[in-house]
Amino acid sequence: MRIIVSCACLAVVASLAACTEKPQTLTSRKADTSASQGTGNQFVAPGWKAGDPASWDEQMRTRTQRGQNEYTRVAAGG
C-alpha cells in the first residue's frame, strides 16, 4: 500500500512539474526602419526608389488618388 501511495505522489509531482511556465527573458529588439527604406524585394511599384523619402511620399500620394485608400473604399462601399 505504501508503494502505491508513493507512486501516486510521484505521478502527481511529475504532472505538476510539466505545467510550469517557461522563464521569460528580456531580449533585445531590432530597431525599426522607416517605410521609405523598403523591404529589399523585387515586388515594388515602378518608379519608386528605396531610401528616398520624396519618392515614397509621391507613391503614397499616387495610391491615394487612384482609390487605393482603404478608408475611403470602405466608406463608399458601405
- Identify the pLDDT of residue 64: 78
Rounded to whole angstroms, how far apart are CA atoms 36 and 38?
5
- Predicted structure pTM score: 0.41
Distances (CA, A) of 47 to 57, 72, 76: 12, 25, 29
The pLDDT of residue 74 is above 70: no
**Beta strands per DSSP E along 1-78:** none
In the predicted model, what is the mean pLDDT of the chain? 76
Per-domain residue ranges for the chain? 45-78
Evaluate if residue 55 carries a pLDDT over 80: yes
Q: What number of helices (H) and strands (E) belong to the chain?
A: 3, 0
Q: Dihedral of CA 56/68/43/45: which sign? A: negative
